[in-house]
Structure 1
């Protein structure tokens, strides 16, 4: 039986996957939403370099999971991509949901204009607070959904600035990349390069960057389909 381990991006916890998890369980999968250290109910738990990668690997090993699909949304693609190669034969597939992907030696904040984020982390005692409601406009979200994200946890800054550590080419892992078109129609350059691999597939969704809120049933269908034929 497929085991989905779901990891949301900055400011969010396992709670963000409630609707998606219910749909996947209805399709017969085992589902394990995971809150990363320092967020939601784990707020206050120290999170430094490689903590979030260990969170994911430890969860898979603690539960003795096999036939694992690791799902990383947004920032979580960075630790999920690193964890995917570390769980070895336990991995069935990795799914990146409108996510950043790890590049060896680079961080989440590498490669894009992130000075304002770094400044915000400095000004908020090492944490990146959720953005204001106007920043979520045009992403297919209701006011209530935006309010839930804005009410999320400040994100531990060290996890955003640490360099990724990869043992091998990420393109060799079986992967699906889900591109949410309201957040830009083209994948970022690092993703576009990985999509040249025969091991990777691209799926597009006509929604915004937080599809677990805006289109949970469709996202669950995409996740189910990513393993249905494999």
Structure 2
């Protein structure tokens, strides 16, 4: 747990006050504001890399449980060191997909940020040459339907599922079918590809359709990757929440 996080927890317990800044222009800050509004108490961070996402949501006010999964050895080492300072953040070196087994992860040269089970396409390479694959690792894979209950995540929790898996989103969501059908997972944070970036990767229309089928509405967008030559947007972060949660104010009025 960071010093800032400890101070925030102390002020919450001692005075019943919360110290949070929500810059209107900051996508993660707005996402944390929605976590608070929807009373989310667990964030499942799939494809955590070195823990940048989890650390960032801590910095802007999220104080609940975080469970991070990262399959690649080097970023996982950095992730484990970061999480060691936070007693409400658990980390596991594992790939997440549709079934239990072993998979080969292609390791990207940009500190592993673009690593994927899937082959990378030229569209991605042209936009970010530093993301070229530089190696591979064979890792254990599990699915969230079997894994999260073992880790104490139940339908009683309000959970956000964040995926940063470079085109492998459909496999992860297929492996969480049972959990998503229940009431526990109330939000999704996905990377939506507007152009093919990985062979067989999930495209934005499928991501929107899957969220819609779960009763989740699109609540925020943030650009991630653009074509440096044309300026075309290739990939964006998208956050979805169950739509009925945002009708609460109207129901209570």
- TM bracket, shorter-chain basis: 0.3 to 0.5
TM-score by length of 1: 0.41
Quick check: which has more Rg, 1 or 2? 2
TM-score by length of 2: 0.38
Q: If each structure's strand is expressed as a fraction of its own residues, which one has the higher value?
A: 2
